[in-house]
Amino acid sequence: MIQYIFRFIPASVSLVWVIVSVSVLLFLYFQLCVLNRREPPGPRPLPLLGNLFQVDLKRLDQSLFDLSKKYGPVFLVNFGPKKVVVLAGYRTVKQALVNQANEFGNREVTPIFYDFNKEHGILFANGDSWKEMRRFTLSTLKDFGMGKRISEQKIIEECCWLIEEFDKLQGKPFDNTHTISYAVSNVLSGLMFGKRFEYQDPLLQAIVNRDNETIYLTGTASILIYNMFPWLGPWLKNWKALMKNMETGKTDLNKIIAELKDTLDPDTCRCFVDVFLTQKQNLKENDDTHYHDDNLLYTVMNLFAAGTDTTATTIKWCLLFMAKYPHIQERVQEELNQVVGSRQVCVQDRKNLPFTDAVIHESQRLANIAPMAIPHTTSKDVTFQGYFIKKGTTVLPLLTSVLYDESEWETPLTFNPSHFLDKEGKFIKRDAFMPFSAGRRVCLGESLARMDIFLFFTSLLQHFSFTPPAGISEDELDLTPVVGFTLSPQPQGLCAVRRQ
């Protein structure tokens, strides 16, 4: 019967039916695939604005941490029209950044990060250029002693200068913001430029103070909104200030680089810049090289700004915690007295100073200075914990949720050095201690930062006790952070009292 009917239907009509049938089947198949590609849960977004009214842009990490308690360790928020996947909790962040490092290892270059570096340098770059600059930077800094005995000596020399500066205060209240930053930047300056600056040097002060302001402004609400709606830039005061800072910063660093270039001797490399310039000369016939002026400038800017701010901010938190908790400070000083005495502390002493080491780690954990790390993107489509995440999706590893993870830390919101001590008082490593992030984008200066923090902190505690000013109690010291791209202590006076 069917064959009889089809005899009277033109062949073209039969072909149309076949095409329609196949199309319907394909549509149903793809719809099924889409249903199986389940997106992470999250709050319902508004058109265009997304979830802007459901988060506090002045303390975004805390808002996201609160949302994670409702929506789970993998959830979706909309920053304006942009979808962002948030990863919360130690196990989830580790699974993504370490166990699936390739899938989650790309950098999200937001509009403000593009304005900063134009995708050159290390921090805000991807692809072959990033790989080569990271490889070259790690190799070169290690050659100049990063994390080794050579850099230890440079830090110890700088500790002496910093102690001398504190001595000048004669125990009077001071705001330690600038001096500590200058000391930390000098360690980096030795590696980058082969020189140190006096703390009163206008160029050093300009570079460090400007970088501090830039890092603060980058985390402000108006810049977060700019990243969602870049066309607003020219009308935003903070964006204009950032662009001015970047141009002035490039001018200052280009002058230093030009001086090194004029006195370059390829047979005697004095610093990171010399090695880069020599490499550039050797490869000048290769048009496809990554060793060009932009990569040099922005790599130096990245290392100098990020390395100074994060390390100096951590040391400032350490000193504030000591003033806040004098009984902890006394135990640190007792241990230093017993193990080191009056001689200079060295890195080898760390293994014999378990309580001091625990105090430093606990200060880093509770201070939580980089609460959201720098955003990542997925390098390909990925299914993660049962959810489908499309290639190119922005991913925020919420380090706040790692360092304050209730399933990993006994008292996550309390300053408690016992988090890093066993029952015998020996130091123990904790996997959930992740202040430097993890995976492919882990901080490449971690070994230098750890050495900086340990030597500066112990050297200062050997010579000084840190207290609130007269008339201010320990309870009145404010631990509420100043929120920028990093979290820094409130400007408030401390006294560095010479120990007898």
Binding residues for heme: 443
How far apart (Å, rounded) are the C-alpha atoms in residues 66 and 56? 11
Measured N-to-C along each axis, helices 446-463 and 177-193 cross at an angle, to the nearest 10 degrees, of 130
What Rg do the C-alpha atoms of the chain give, in angstroms?
27
- Element holding 41 (H helix, E strand): none
DSSP string over 254-301: HHHHHHHHHT--TTS--SHHHHHHHHHHHTTT-TT-S-SHHHHHHHHH
Give the residue from 475, 161, 202, 162 showing the smallest Cα distance to 315: 162
164, burial (CB in 10 Å: exposed 0-12, middle 13-18, buried 19+): exposed
Closest C-alpha to 266, from 285, 246, 281, 244: 281
* Cα→Cα distances 33→22, 83, 85, 336, 369, Å: 16, 20, 21, 63, 41
SS3 486: coil
Name the binding residues: 443
In angstroms, rounded to a whole number, what is the distance separating the alpha carbons of residues 293 and 485? Answer: 27
- How many whole angstroms separate alpha carbon 132 and alpha carbon 27? 44
Which whole-number Å values give the CA distances from 4 to 7, 8, 182, in the listed order?
5, 7, 93
Q: What does the alpha-carbon distance between residue 343 and residue 346 come to, in Å, rounded to a whole number?
A: 9
